[in-house]
């Protein structure tokens, strides 16, 4: 086994360390923690509760992302939006919590927006103004705007009119 030790030296070392039992407490504690924190590995697929759990986990994995277009894209919004929202709430006798509930926006976010500590995105602003049935941007019909780039005689090459 050891080339540089004689048999007597090896027997002496074995007798010296024969009764001693050394435990590395750090490694023992680490292995206990790993076993304690490791999730349950054996799975019973025939149980009804396990089938429901797998269905719930798979449902969250395959959720569809809903894309919402920006309603005020390329439109100039007035700078006094906060005052408009406050005036609308006062005119309709509606509180901030009721507005938050009706528009599905957190009340803390609305309060922070009105105090200047948070910025609402355009979709949330549109929800607020749609609840009050208030038009913050004047809508223009695209037929009223003359477009010199489209030749009305050539219908095949002209772009279709898109209403925003």
Per-residue pLDDT tens digits of the chain, which is 164 residues long: 457 888 888 888 888 877 766 678 888 888 888 888 876 666 556 666 666 776 776 666 666 667 788 888 888 888 999 999 999 999 999 999 999 999 999 999 999 999 999 999 999 999 999 999 999 887 545 455 454 444 444 444 444 445 44
Q: How far is CA 26 from CA 32, 33, 36, in A?
A: 10, 11, 15
What CATH number does residue 65 fall under? 1.10.260.40
Q: Are the beta carbons of 130 and 122 closer than 8 angstroms? A: no
Q: Rounded to whole angstroms, how far apart are CA atoms 144 and 164?
A: 13
Q: Is residue 42 part of a domain?
A: no
Domain count, the chain: 1
Residues 63-73, buried b or exposed e (16+ Cβ, 10 A)? eeeeeeeebee
**What pLDDT is stored for residue 128 in this prediction?**
95
**What pLDDT is stored for residue 25 in this prediction?**
85
Q: Is residue 18 part of a domain?
A: no
Q: Is residue 17 part of a domain?
A: no
**What pLDDT is stored for residue 61 in this prediction?**
64
Q: Is residue 123 part of a domain?
A: yes
Q: Are the beta carbons of 142 and 162 closer than 8 angstroms? A: yes
Q: Given the structure tokens 């602003």, which residue do they identify?
A: 125
Structure-token pair, residue 155: 């219908």
Q: Give the domain extent around 115.
A: 49-138
Residues 77-102, buried b or exposed e (16+ Cβ, 10 A)? eeeebeebbeebbeeeeeeeeebbee
Stated pTM of the model: 0.49
**What pLDDT is stored for residue 28 in this prediction?**
87
């Amino acid at each position: 086994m050891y080339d540089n030790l004689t048999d007597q030296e090896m027997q002496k070392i074995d007798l010296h360390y024969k009764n001693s039992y050394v435990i590395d407490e750090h490694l023992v504690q680490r292995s206990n923690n790993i076993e304690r924190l490791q999730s349950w590995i054996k799975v019973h697929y025939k149980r009804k509760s396990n089938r429901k759990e797998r269905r719930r986990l798979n449902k969250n994995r395959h959720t569809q992302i809903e894309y919402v277009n920006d309603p005020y894209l390329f439109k100039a919004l007035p700078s006094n939006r906060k005052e408009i929202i406050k005036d609308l709430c006062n005119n309709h006798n509606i509180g901030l919590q009721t507005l938050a509930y009706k528009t599905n926006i957190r009340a803390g976010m609305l309060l922070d927006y009105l105090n200047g500590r948070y910025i609402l995105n355009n979709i949330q602003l549109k929800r607020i103004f749609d609840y009050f049935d208030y038009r913050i941007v004047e809508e223009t019909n695209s037929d009223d705007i003359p477009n010199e780039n489209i030749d009305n005689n050539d219908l095949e090459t002209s772009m279709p009119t898109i209403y925003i």
